DNA sequence: TTGAAAGCGGTACCAG
DNA sequence: CTGGTACCGCTTTCAA
């Protein structure tokens, strides 16, 4: 009924538990003969070591806590998928916690991670959690920030280069003849969006376009249900405003938002890219399969997942010299602008 | 540097560790005064109990292992997201393991779950793992099967009703005037697909249509990268065959497959729904935003996630009377047929 | 090369 | 009500 324990194996093999432990972990030279007997006992009893006990005693821990908003958009789910895949190869397990864009909930979940005795913590986006992060560091639990830059020393981050890409987008749009470029985005709280917003303003300036606060379209609900809320917001915008008072090109903060927008435009009788140009973000797979095919920013989610795993491995060895990583993004030009 | 332990709290409060444990868990009546002192000590030292140690001793365990192919399609990621959300509320944590549609890897991951001392195991799809499942049961670890029916007694499952829905689809298609209905699917190995395939054949019969093996389009690569591979396969099909030799309506085994197919048809100059009717599966959010909007089967992923959590709670109490659950699916008719 | 024993951080039982 | 203590399953000295 119960799991077999190291004690049972030891009894079966006629040795002490210490010896069993040594043959399993190779932590002491054990005679071939004894090793063989222990191996046989392990097989016979179908013994699988209890990682809980092991981690309690050894203080080592191969589970990673992954904090992210949720798995509802393909950006996060792709990264998570790639990360889990790598983690498997490296022998780590990953616990996923979703904070649903709520600061309070993020804090609670972080506490649960600590409770669960997690070995390494990865936080995607998030904000206002400096105290919790410092708490982890104090207790010797390494933290990595993802898709976000960090203000805390000792906490490495990995993110995309948001300045350069905004310039690429704006100048590409300008080259195509668009004159006014709108910024359509979920609330600009997370550092990656802040950077994009900054980059957007800088890019306008560099391209000789003027920044107009009226071209910034942000609504709170845009971070949840991207598709639906992007659609609704754009319908609202189009029903209230005349076309000529609006930007003629739009940079959306995600592909789903962009796709929702495009449907609203389509339903209101506008043509894309003739009436409005649209640029998405993420290059989710679907973006190449909608009509018109969406121009978007390629963010290599798989690469992000992989690099993240590399950082975890590094930070679990050195504990020190882990470099921040900035990943390139590139514009994938298709039909929507 | 280190985490504070119950011993430190006890010392700070001037009591023994047993007493601290009791005030935390309410396992014995402790005077208001002492309780207060302990509480203060906990606060002062920022003490968070170590769930690892707790679980080792108490044999209780609030982490759930979720085995699924991966998080790359929105069906699994939505369910996972909803499930994680519920788990949070109920105080559970969830470890996610992806087996990437590989039997060997599934087995390895299941072993890792056992090693990690998981409390409850949920397996999505999967096959050929009876031995491993029985092993869990033997060790007293409850297993729940999701999106799959089970042949093992004591192992409850939750899945969608695949027979009724296939009849709904086929008769709806027939009513619209389609004559030959194709079945476009990833390999028919998983029980949910088996049931759909069976349901498809039964439905044809009931509707007076004949089943033709040539109308079944299955390719191994279709379970990965649905969008791309659905697209490619359909391009291949259309380039090799004349339209009149093909079905005039298609039931795809997922929305992404359907969307990929539609793009291929579009590029080959065919109109949907005039030349071909297409029905998807999953009602992923995106399916209502593509052109033409996809007719599909609504599978309530959030409901599935929630019900799954309910099953976990039940199975952790009774250990016995957990009922199988069969969820309704419904056809969402939009523009693609 | 192996055995013996001390914990890791908790829980749970028994005394008092 | 509270203290004392054995013990969960394993790792890790220390001796022999």
pLDDT one-digit tens code per residue, A263-284? 999 999 999 999 999 999 999 8
- Do residues B308 and B294 share a domain? no
C1' (D9) to CA (A18) span, angstroms: 12
- Do residues A319 and A258 share a domain? no
Nearest residue of A to residue B106, measured between CA atoms = A88
Q: Is there a contact between A98 and B88 (Cβ–Cβ < 8 Å)?
A: yes
Indicate the range of A73-77, A79-83, A111-115, A236-240 predicted with least confidence.
A73-77
Distance from CA of B320 to the nearest CA of A (A): 16
Place of tokens 């080959």: B268
- Report, in angstroms and rounded to the nearest whole number, the Rg of chain B calculated over CA atoms: 25
B256 to A1: CB separation less than 8 angstroms, yes or no: no
pLDDT digits (tens, 9 = 90+) for B125-164: 988 899 999 999 999 999 999 999 888 888 999 999 999 9
Residue B1 lies in a domain: no
A73 pLDDT band (50/70/90 cuts)?
Answer: confident
**For residue B88, what pLDDT is reported?**
96
Q: How large is the average pLDDT for residues B169-190?
A: 95
- Check which CATH number belongs to the domain holding A220 and give it: 3.40.50.2300
Q: How large is the average pLDDT for residues B230-256?
A: 97
Distance from CA of B73 to the nearest CA of A (A): 8
C1' (C7) to CA (B7) span, angstroms: 13
Q: Is the pLDDT of residue B294 over 70?
A: yes
Bridge partners for B64 per DSSP: B94, B120
A158 pLDDT band (50/70/90 cuts)?
Answer: very high
Instruction: Choose between B123 and A152: higher pLDDT.
Output: B123
Residues on chain A touching B229 (C-beta within 8 angstroms): none
- Do residues B40 and B105 share a domain? no
**For residue A1, what pLDDT is reported?**
66
A285 pLDDT band (50/70/90 cuts)?
Answer: confident
Residue B231: which residues within 8 A CB-CB, separation 6 or more? A289, B260, B261, B263, B264
- Check which CATH number belongs to the domain holding B40 and give it: 1.10.260.40
Residue A276: domain span: 162-299
- Do residues B153 and B212 share a domain? no
C1' (D14) to CA (B13) span, angstroms: 35
Distance from CA of B183 to the nearest CA of A (A): 21
**For residue B1, what pLDDT is reported?**
67
Nearest to B17 by CA among B60, B49, B62, B56: B49
Round to whole Å and give the CA distance between B158 and B170: 24
Residue A140 lies in a domain: yes
- Do residues B217 and B128 share a domain? no
**For residue A228, what pLDDT is reported?**
95
State whether the Cα torsion B35-B36-B41-B46 is positive or negative.
positive
A230 to chain B, any CB pair closer than 8 A? The answer is no
Beta strands A120-124 and A157-160, pairing class: unpaired
Structure tokens at A19: 């010896």
- Do residues B87 and B126 share a domain? yes
State how many domains chain B has.
3
* Cα distances (Å, whole numbers) of residue A13 to A18, A44, B138, B308, B313: 12, 10, 23, 42, 39
Nearest to B119 by CA among B95, B101, B151: B95
Average pLDDT, chain B: 94
pLDDT digits (tens, 9 = 90+) for B194-213: 999 999 999 999 999 999 99
Q: Which of residues 32-71 of A touch strand C (CB under 7 A)?
A: 33-35, 53, 56-57
Residue B275 lies in a domain: yes
A140 to chain B, any CB pair closer than 8 A? The answer is yes
Residue A309 lies in a domain: yes
Closest CB to A52: pick one of B3, B55, B81.
B55
Residue A292 lies in a domain: yes
Closest CB to A115: pick one of B48, B117, B262.
B48
C1' (C2) to CA (A51) span, angstroms: 24
pLDDT digits (tens, 9 = 90+) for B60-92: 999 999 999 999 888 899 999 999 999 999 999
- Do residues B101 and B18 share a domain? no
Q: Is there a contact between A121 and A142 (Cβ–Cβ < 8 Å)?
A: yes
Residue B334 lies in a domain: no
Q: Is the pLDDT of residue B249 over 80?
A: yes
**For residue B151, what pLDDT is reported?**
84
Residues 273-292 of B with CB under 8 A from A: 285-286, 288-291
- Do residues B291 and B180 share a domain? yes
A81 to chain B, any CB pair closer than 8 A? The answer is yes
* Cα distances (Å, whole numbers) of residue A154 to A91, A136, A332, B15: 25, 11, 35, 37
Q: Is the pLDDT of residue B39 over 70?
A: yes
pLDDT digits (tens, 9 = 90+) for A30-43: 999 999 999 999 99
- Do residues A185 and A290 share a domain? yes
This prediction's pTM? 0.91
- Do residues B12 and B112 share a domain? no
* Cα distances (Å, whole numbers) of residue B129 to B66, B110, B152, B256: 15, 9, 11, 27
Cβ-based contacts under 8 A for chains A and B: 159
Q: Which of residues 49-88 of A touch strand D (CB under 7 A)?
A: 49-50, 53-54, 56-58, 60
Is A25 within 7 A of strand D by CB distance? Answer: yes
Residue B337 lies in a domain: no
Average pLDDT, chain A: 94
B98 to A109: CB separation less than 8 angstroms, yes or no: no
Contacts 24+ apart (CB under 8 A), A109-112: A109/A67, A109/B88, A110/A67, A110/A136, A111/B48, A112/B93
Distance from CA of A238 to the nearest CA of B (A): 18
- Do residues B78 and B43 share a domain? no
Q: Is the pLDDT of residue B319 over 70?
A: no
**For residue A107, what pLDDT is reported?**
95
- Do residues A179 and A294 share a domain? yes
**For residue B2, what pLDDT is reported?**
81
Highest mean pLDDT among A222-226, B187-191, B279-283: B279-283
- Closest protein residue to C13 using CA and C1' atoms? B18
Round to whole Å and give the CA distance between B51 and A90: 24
A60 to chain B, any CB pair closer than 8 A? The answer is no
Residues 27-56 of A with CB under 8 A from B: 46, 48-53, 55-56
Chain D positions with an atom below 7 A of a protein C-beta are 1-5, 7-14
C1' (D1) to CA (B19) span, angstroms: 9
B14 pLDDT band (50/70/90 cuts)?
Answer: very high
Residue B331 lies in a domain: no
C1' (C16) to CA (B63) span, angstroms: 38
Q: Which of residues 181-210 of B touch strand C (CB under 7 A)?
A: none
Q: Is the pLDDT of residue B321 over 80?
A: no
């Amino acid at each position: 009924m119960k799991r077999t324990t190291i004690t049972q194996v030891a009894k079966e093999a006629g040795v002490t538990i210490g010896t069993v432990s040594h043959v399993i972990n190779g932590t002491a030279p054990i005679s071939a003969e004894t090793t063989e007997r222990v191996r046989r006992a392990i097989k016979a009893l179908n013994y699988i070591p209890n990682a809980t006990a092991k981690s309690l005693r050894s203080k080592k821990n191969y589970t990673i806590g992954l904090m992210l908003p949720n798995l509802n958009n393909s950006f996060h789910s792709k990264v998570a998928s790639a990360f889990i895949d790598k983690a498997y190869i490296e022998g780590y397990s990953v616990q996923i916690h979703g904070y649903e864009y709520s600061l309070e909930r993020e804090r609670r979940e972080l506490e649960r991670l600590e409770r669960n005795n997690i070995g390494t913590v990865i936080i995607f986006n998030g904000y206002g959690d400096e105290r919790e992060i410092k708490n982890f560091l104090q207790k010797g639990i390494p933290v990595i920030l993802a898709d976000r830059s960090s203000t805390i020393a000792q906490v490495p981050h990995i993110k995309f280069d948001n300045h350069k890409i905004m310039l690429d987008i704006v100048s590409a749009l300008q080259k195509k003849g668009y004159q006014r470029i709108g910024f359509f985005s979920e609330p600009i709280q997370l550092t990656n969006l802040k950077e994009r917003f900054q980059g957007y303003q800088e890019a306008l300036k560099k391209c000789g376009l003027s920044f107009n606060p009226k071209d910034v379209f942000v609504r709170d609900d845009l971070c949840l249900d991207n598709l639906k809320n992007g659609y609704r917001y754009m319908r609202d915008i189009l029903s209230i405003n005349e076309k000529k008072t609006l930007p003629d090109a739009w940079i959306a903060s995600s592909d789903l938002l962009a796709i929702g927008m495009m449907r609203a435009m389509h339903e209101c009788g506008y043509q894309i890219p003739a009436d409005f140009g649209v640029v998405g973000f993420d290059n989710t797979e679907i973006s190449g399969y909608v009509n018109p095919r969406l121009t978007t920013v390629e963010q290599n989610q798989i690469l992000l997942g992989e690099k993240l795993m590399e950082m975890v491995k590094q930070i679990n060895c050195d504990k020190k010299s882990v470099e921040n990583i900035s990943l390139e993004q590139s514009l994938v030009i298709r039909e929507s602008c």
